[in-house]
A = this chain, B = another copy of it.
């Protein structure tokens, strides 16, 4: 599997996904501002992956800090935290990663500055490795929903490229494939940035998982013809009531699936669940520049100059359209998701098996 992000020779090495599938090029980030820029430019994207990038961004930001004590060190870190958290608003993983790095530092306040710097590198590595482990677990829990012969629609890229590896939405697909089930993936191309065409199709082809590319507006017609058996997507932020923010177009896929009685699953590592928000309407939704719509890949103009554009990057799918949310702790009904935030409840009783 291609590496999405790694710590290498005191640098954060990020696969530049804006160049895929034509070129496989890594960007070496020697400071946190380059990491922030990679996140903003979508060189790295996908909720889990930008969480890892944020953790490594904190780690590399730490290396440049000159501080004589812990308080000074933490104070110097604040602009690093802020730049990372502000880089993209919708995914909760950046905030989650920054909080985790900060909590780790606080727990180790008695250590030397040099030790703290080493610890941030180690913690960001741990986050990367845990992510891959978690995705594998999501795959195990999710594969039960995939039958031999199934045709599976996915939207955008919640694949290995959106994570440390293995993917979230692609994890059940990869496990089913490993189990020897004959499956076929339909990848929505996912305008405007075309993550489905550029990334999902590419990474599945690398691993010899059969995949067919369609335009986003074809999914409904295939559902009507009975040519989709289930849908699996990722999420940028899922909230306590089971509402799911994900790439623009996810909502339409979920509504269409519901009308055609097709199960619709969301693969959500717990790091992408924001238990502080109770309703999808509270999720900040990023709007991006018109040029993403009017100039494909930044080089191919497809619309009149100065046309007005509405470029909403995400939408929110209400819980009622979601068959199950698949986490590393099991698959749950969206309305049961909140039990994961209550340590007094035995969540295993709520698992869908």
Which residues in A have some Cβ–Cβ distance to B below 8 Å? 21-22, 186, 188-192, 194, 197-198, 201-202, 205, 210-222, 224, 248-249, 251-252, 255-256, 259, 293-294, 296-297, 299-304, 306-312, 315
Contact = CB atoms under 8 A, between A and B. Distances in A.
B215 A192 contact: yes
A304 B221 contact: no
Contacts of A301: 22
A211 B212 CA distance: 33
Given A198-B303, A302-B296, A304-B202, A222 B256 contact: no
B293 A213 contact: yes
Nearest to A309: B213
A229 to B, nearest CB: 15
Contact of A215 (B191, B224, B297, B306): B191
Contacts of A259: 255, 259
Number of copies: 2
A192 B215 CA distance: 7
B252 A220 contact: yes
Nearest to A301: B22
Given A189-B303, A205-B304, A302-B189, A251 B221 contact: yes
Nearest to A220: B252
Given A190-B217, A252-B217, A259-B259, A201 B310 contact: no
Given A191-B191, A212-B308, A315-B224, A300 B303 contact: no
A304 to B, nearest CB: 4
A192 B310 CA distance: 19
A197 B252 contact: no
Contact of A198 (B21, B299, B302): B302
Contacts of A308: 210-213
A312 to B, nearest CB: 6
Contact of A303 (B197, B219, B224): B197
Nearest to A295: B300
A296 B299 CA distance: 11
B216 A191 contact: yes
Contacts of A299: 300
A338 B217 CA distance: 29
A244 to B, nearest CB: 13
A252 B248 contact: no
Contact of A310 (B214, B256, B296, B311): B214
Contact of A309 (B205, B214, B255): B214
A224 B294 CA distance: 24
B255 A222 contact: no
Nearest to A227: B310
A211 B248 CA distance: 20
Given A197-B293, A300-B300, 9 more contacts: A192-B215, A197-B294, A197-B302, A217-B217, A220-B251, A221-B312, A221-B315, A296-B300, A299-B300
